[in-house]
Amino acid sequence: MRALECYNITGIRLRNFPEFIVAFAMVKKACANANYKLGLLEVKKKEAICRACDELIDPRLDAHSKGVEMRENFLVDMIQGGAGTSTNMNANEVIANRALELLGHEKGQYEFCSPNDDVNKGQSTNDSYPTSAKLACILMHSELLNAIKLLSKSFFKKAEEFADVVKMGRTQLQDAVPMTLGQEFHAYGNSVASDIDALSNAVNRFCTSNLGGTAIGTGIAADPHFSQVAVQELRSVTGHPMILADDLIEASSSVGDMIYFSGMLRRIAAKVSKICNDLRLLSSGPRCGLSEINLPAKAPGSSIMPGKVNPVIPEVMNMCAFEAIGNDVTVAFGAEAGQLELNVMEPVIIYKLFSSLRVLSRGINTLREHCIEGITANKEHCKEMVHKSIGVVTALLPHIGYKKCTEAADRATRDKRPVADIIVELGFLKREEVDNLLQPESMCGPTAKKARFEK
């Protein structure tokens, strides 16, 4: 109640992230089982607490939809003072009150099942809160992982479709050398796919818990064996390879794993955003830009310019990426602001991690479904630009040298004529030699000749 009065900050409540509620219920269930095994919690209370937790984990288990109702009672704002104590107590109170109902008592009769003395037994906010947050990231990351996998496959499919579309490659927005559109999209696929293992490795760091360290990692007010037993139970409840941190004091004060994971999300965001920048350039026009590809038309582009269609899907993905990158900055500041044995900024760090996971997952799925899968190529236009380009002269370097190539390129640019004609006029090569050496397909490198693209 104090949290509701004091922390009306973002309007984003705990219930907006159901994975966080599930994670908290898993932690509380594991702790109840551990306390029972250590002889610290009687069987009826343990069973009632675990049943309440199960209903939160999967509301379908309860015919009366108590789990759905309980989730709605996670009302605390994601950003809060107190290092997450309000969140931990919100979970303790919801679980305790449902346990009381299961025991045949009224809500609030805490002498029969207490949020603090029973549900929170052997714990502090400073161990249960970060453990639950890490577990929630594990639960949430699978959606992003799947989105990345599907996006990379979509790029590889387009790479195969565009394998014979020759175009100009560009560096610093200037004509460079020929390549195929298939090569370009294959590179996008590999860029995205390279984050699959990296994301999995980053989230694996969250399998380390400080559960049982209580206030600062010394384990005060908890059974000496509680940490080991609780983490064993957590491993059983979650199905994830949870382990106890080697140094509980360090694990209670450090958010290093969260920094690392946030950096991984920033990397994904930056790379996908760069690809979206490319798509917007490649589709620019349609008559006065590069216009090498066509993006699916998704919305009228203007309220005043008839017929205008904008690259709205890459644009929205850019904005999703910007949010994730900004969130990472907040995580960094939050991590730096930790003091002594506790980082009180964990609420904003956790909120930003969850937000990045969600916005990137949804953004990437939107990009794939509404843009990538419907891209088409302007094959003849791409070919025409290659033939008009000065950049093809690079293929002649081994045959006439840099100085002559430069002379021909400068003259072709000045006279606005094909570089092949200038080479012949200057007597550097015969027409047959130039035509043979400047075949666009032969200038795209060995990867352009591969018949099979990775899927």
Handedness of CA 146, 150, 156, 159 (dihedral sign): negative
Three-state DSSP string of 364-396: HHHHHHHCHHHCEECHHHHHHHHHHCCHHHHHH
Catalytic residue among 302, 361, 389, 442: 302
Facing residues of 167 across strands? 179
Asked if the peptide bond before residue 347 counts as cis, ω within 30 degrees of 0, the response is no
Distance, CA of 289 to CA of 268 (rounded, Å): 28
The crossing angle, in degrees rounded to 10, of helices 346-370 and 312-336 is: 160
Distance, CA of 15 to CA of 58 (rounded, Å): 14
Instruction: Give the CA diameter of the chain.
Output: 101
Distance, CA of 118 to CA of 40 (rounded, Å): 9
Question: Does the annotation count 302 as an active-site position?
Answer: yes
Burial of 429 (C-beta count, 10 Å sphere; 0-12/13-18/19+): buried
Distance, CA of 340 to CA of 142 (rounded, Å): 34
Q: Which residues are designated catalytic?
A: 302
